[in-house]
Structure 1
């Protein structure tokens, strides 16, 4: 299974789990998942990690800043030019189903601007990458701490809501850690 990880989950990892990882088992496991390509870090999430919480994720997972590590394991994955499979269908869903009530009050020009901005976000890029992987019959999941509820006054629904419509599996970091076998984490 391939896992596309969101900024919120990486932040939870470094704030709430790694401080208790005295023997660095979890730290080492996460690093190995990046190395073997099972854990996918996209460019837009990496950019968010640079400024979210004063760069805490990249300070803690310091190997993600190392040039050689990034080069050897092709991180972060470039997603700027990705197009969703069934592009027309995706854009129809974007225009109709992914919108929040707030976006329905925008005029056409305002909505088009918000749509353009949304497509540049980490959320949209993760979803598009997941659609591409899914179309290639790869087992893919997006890991995020977002919930379906609320929209933070945004024009588009949150990751779990959109993924539910697209039949893309979504889980939280605790759910992911439960299914990983053999990490045998001890918290003291």
Structure 2
């Protein structure tokens, strides 16, 4: 199973789960899964983690700011030069299917700017990484973990991760749903 985790899920992990992890069982499990590349942290997600909520994620998951650990385990996964499988099809989806009604209100220059920002974002990079993994590992279970919901996207020009994943038939789970999949370990918070 390959799990690609979003900033929102890492933030939920450190805010709502780790405070009850008295024996560091969950912390050590997550660290091991990230270290073994069973849970993937991409470069843009790690960059977001360094900028949101007073750097809470990298403070609590301190191994994510340990340069030696990151280098030794090749974390984060670099996505800057990833090209989606079937690029023409992907960019057509970006232009036509991933947009919200707000995108239609933009002039072409504004749309192109928002599209560039979207394609450089952690969301788009995770999607491209997932599509690349799906094309390489057709028999492997591949999951995107995010706490985002499909619903309203404020004034953004592009849909949220769950909505895009639905279009692309990528499996999406929340952090609690992911933890339920790990049947071999018992998380009990005492």
- TM-score range relative to shorter protein: over 0.9
Shift in Å, 1:69: 0.9
1:171 to 153, 173, 189: 173
Tell me whether 63-72 or 160-169 shows the greater mean CA deviation.
Answer: 63-72
Residue ranges of structure 1 left out of the alignment (5+ in a row): none
Q: What is the match of residue 57 of structure 2?
A: 57
The reply to whether residue 82 of structure 1 matches residue 82 of structure 2 is yes
Write the deviation string for residues 2-45 of structure 1: whole angstroms up to 9, x where unpaired: 11000000000000000001111100100110111101000100
Structure 1 segments, 4+ long, off by >3 Å, are: none
For 1:183 and 1:10, locate their aligned partners in 2 and report how far apart those are by CA, in whole Å: 19
Shift in Å, 1:152: 2.4
| SS across alignment from 1:51 | coil
TM-score normalised by length of structure 1:
0.98
Residue ranges of structure 2 left out of the alignment (5+ in a row): none
CA RMSD for the aligned pairs?
A: 0.8
Shift in Å, 1:183: 2.3
Q: What is the match of residue 94 of structure 1?
A: 94
Superposed, 1:1-188 pairs within 5 Å as 1-136=1-136, 137=138, 138-188=140-190
| SS across alignment from 2:51 | helix
Write the deviation string for residues 137-178 of structure 1: whole angstroms up to 9, x where unpaired: 142111000000011211000000001010111110000001
Write the deviation string for residues 53-112 of structure 1: whole angstroms up to 9, x where unpaired: 110000001011112210111001111111100000001111111100000111111111
